[in-house]
Structure 1
């Protein structure tokens, strides 16, 4: 009987170790879902070289101001072109394809995405007076890093999180996530260094980045610096189609009628 229990114990340990090993090596496939390259007639293709890697960025519009957009982990950022091309005057939008996405070369990772984002910001800021940043879902981790490390004029976070690590710990509570995870995207760590006025847009129903993860992040900002809006009848994947989404972004970037001097957690009209 004792020998049988020992065999079961060994088998359980081996199975658990195998599961941890699988999660470690499969984690990139669980986090990143690269989108294919597309061609767009009404957008300029900007090519940036970063060592051996080529980044493909979509530029829409021109002007003294610029907005960088970092999308979700399965988002084809080209789908935003029609929505932003007439959104703001005197503004160029740069839609970022992460490594492996939309024709950019290489493989995505937190370190690579952050490095490329810094390169893009430095390139854009050399040609525009003011640079704001929008991050959505995964991209909010990139956007918060930039706002903490570069002079970002305004910061917009759509369905953000405190960290990918915290979300993974909730989903995989039975394994040592902190030890296994390479892509932690700890947005919450960057907040103390952020001075940019910040707008947060939440989906009414979000099972991907539940509200408590977003609010953990929000609570680290001074109240005078941040405004939070929940968009009605929206989910994590449909938030950009919700009524008021682009209006709030436009108002915030243009300083038109959006009060940011208090924490404004409400349903937008």
Structure 2
């Protein structure tokens, strides 16, 4: 081989390695900016139809706190502990909470640390601790609790359900792990080595004794439907797997998940004799 050709090939190889290492470094340093969208504003309760809800601050054991909205349920109804996804503030989903309240359900929804309503740094450890703090705070109110986790929220929702007692666990567009989702997107990178916040739902779900309902869409481009199918397969106490044809990541509310959720909660309560 011509020595100039050899030098050119070595030069190309070195350039490829340098670029690849640079990509690894950028992904590692900025991984949480890629994983979490902490932009957006916090809606005021006065901008919603939640006339009976209140702004609450929930303390953590380490002295930090999280901020959310809380409303107790009507007599004989459940309280929904809602774990939001990874984008902007929990308050942007106020139409969901309005539907809960209109049907008589109570709710607690909040921002994890590092998101608009709750100061601090977002990490997996903080998100999980915030989830436990929210559960413990609302459990003290004395109402029966069901847990609803959406997207990223499927991580802390499943973790809390594995550590605490509730009446049901609903997972909307869940992943079996966040690192598996990253692997889907960045298969050319060793994401299992790079990623700090991996959220292993596939491990936690095995310790969940509550009835589990999983909802996913076949056209989900954010978290593929196979993730939801795998989560459901691992659940010890299966209730139902709803796969909606043609639904993308944010379509399930408009496709009727609330009506299905209500029926699931009623089934779960009937099994408990309530």
TM-score, normalising length: structure 1: 0.87
* 3-state SS of 1:234 partner: coil
Residue 238 of structure 1 aligns with which residue? 251
Counterpart of 2:55 (choices 45, 48, 51) is 45
Q: Please, which of 72, 76, 98 is the counterpart of residue 61 of structure 1?
A: 72
Q: CA deviation at 1:54?
A: 2.8
The aligned counterpart of 1:124 is: 138
Cα RMSD after superposing both structures: 2.2
Decide which moves more: 110-119 or 69-78: 69-78
State the 1:96 CA deviation.
Answer: 1.8
Cα-to-partner distance string for 1:52-111 (whole Å, 9 max, x where unaligned): 533111113335742210111115432223222122x3x420012122324111122211
- 1:221 equivalent in structure 2: 235
Give the Cα–Cα distance (whole angstroms) in 1 for the partners of residues 141 and 100 of structure 2: 19
Residues 232 and 4 (structure 1), Cα distance of their counterparts in 2 relative to 1, 3 Å cut: closer
SS in 2 for 1:134: strand
Pairing 1:248–2:252 present: no
User: Partners of 1:135 and 1:256 in 2: how far apart?
Assistant: 17
Cα gap change, 1:257 to 1:203, in 2 (>3 Å): farther
Kept in 1: contact 2:149–2:157 (CA 8 A): yes
Equivalent of 1:104 in 118, 121, 145: 118
CA distance in 1: counterparts of 2:88 and 2:260, whole angstroms = 21
Matches within 5 A, 1:73-112: 73-74=86-87, 76-78=89-91, 79=93, 80-87=96-103, 89=104, 91-112=105-126
Distance in 2, Cα, partners of 1:143 & 1:37: 22
- Higher-Rg member (1/2): 2
Which has the larger strand fraction? 1
Q: Distance in 2 between matches of 1:227 and 1:166?
A: 23
Report the CA distance shift for 1:151/1:18 in structure 2 as closer, same or farther (over 3 A): same
SS of the residue corresponding to residue 123 of structure 1 reads helix
Q: Is the 8 A contact 1:195 1:225 kept in 2?
A: no
For this pair of structures, how many residues does the alignment match? 255
Alignment check: 8 A CA contact 2:150 2:172 kept: yes
Does the C-alpha gap of structure 1 residues 75 and 198 become closer, same or farther in structure 2, counting only changes over 3 Å?
farther
Distance across 1 between alignment mates of 2:251 and 2:108: 21
Please list the CA deviations of residues 169-191 of structure 1 after superposition, one character each: whole Å capped at 9, or x if unmatched.
12111111110001111101112
- 2:59/2:133 contact within 8 Å kept: no
C-alpha contact 1:37 1:101 (8 A) present in aligned 2: no
Mapped to 1, the partners of 2:166 and 2:72 lie a distance apart of 19
Structure 1 regions of 5+ residues with no counterpart? Answer: 260-269
- CA 1:202–1:17 in 2, change beyond 3 Å: closer, same or farther? same
2:11 corresponds in structure 1 to 7
| 1:60–1:81 contact (8 Å) kept in structure 2 | no
Task: Summarize the alignment of residues 116-195 of structure 1 with structure 2, pairs less than 5 Å apart.
Answer: 116-195=130-209
The secondary structure found in structure 2 opposite 1:199 is: strand
Of Structure 1 and Structure 2, the greater helix share is in 2
